[in-house]
């Protein structure tokens, strides 16, 4: 007498009721959620008056090459001394002390060459200086 069943039934997991319950919960959460912004900042932005045009300050662009040569407004400077650079900067500024000096140095230019431009600008009485940089990109 063999009371065992010859064929075993494998247990089956039915996922359909589980998915139905999850969808009902999801719909409930979507309907009951409030979309308030509690962390929003109240910012009063400034307004611009397009009628007022600020006069651009004159600028002198000084290019420093990787081998230490200088160019002011596209013209090569004779010599590499600070005195020659001072005279060329003073002539390019035309006696205007508010002239902006833009130093555009090569990435491989010697540090001393850039310092010479800063010293020449100080000697010429030009105190407004800035450096030109390339956006993005990696250094060589």
Token digits of residue 97: 């002390």
In whole angstroms, what is the distance from residue 70 CA to residue 79 CA? 8
Mean pLDDT of 47-62: 73
CATH code (residue 106)? 3.30.420.270
Q: Give a yes or no: residue 33 inside a domain.
A: no
Q: Give a yes or no: residue 2 inside a domain.
A: no
Q: Give a yes or no: residue 11 inside a domain.
A: no
Q: Give a yes or no: residue 79 inside a domain.
A: yes
130: pLDDT strictly greater than 70: yes
**What pTM was computed for the model?**
0.57
Question: 88 is in which domain, residue-wise?
Answer: 59-131
Say if CB 100 and CB 128 are below 8 A apart: yes
Q: Where do we find the tokens 């001394």?
A: 81
Q: Give a yes or no: residue 92 inside a domain.
A: yes
Q: Residue 94: which pLDDT band, with cuts at 50, 70 and 90? A: confident
In whole angstroms, what is the distance from residue 81 CA to residue 116 CA? 8
Structural domain count of the chain: 1
| E strand or H helix at 86 | helix 82-93
* Angle formed at CA 58 by CA 55 and CA 63, multiple of 5 degrees: 145
Residue 4 has a pLDDT of 65
Q: Residue 43: which pLDDT band, with cuts at 50, 70 and 90? A: low
């Amino acid at each position: 007498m063999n009371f065992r069943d010859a064929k075993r039934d494998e247990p089956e997991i039915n996922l359909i009721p589980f998915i139905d319950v999850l969808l009902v919960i999801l719909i409930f959460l979507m309907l009951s959620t409030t979309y308030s912004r509690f962390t929003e900042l109240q910012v009063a932005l400034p307004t611009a008056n397009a009628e007022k045009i600020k006069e651009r300050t004159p600028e002198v662009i000084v290019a420093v090459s990787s081998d230490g040569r200088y160019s002011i407004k596209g013209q090569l400077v004779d010599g590499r001394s600070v005195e020659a650079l001072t005279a060329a900067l003073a002539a390019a500024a035309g006696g205007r002390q508010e002239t902006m000096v833009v130093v555009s140095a090569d990435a491989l230019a010697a540090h001393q060459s850039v310092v010479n431009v800063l010293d020449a600008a100080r000697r010429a009485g030009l105190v407004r200086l800035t450096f030109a940089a390339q956006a993005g990109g990696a250094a060589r």
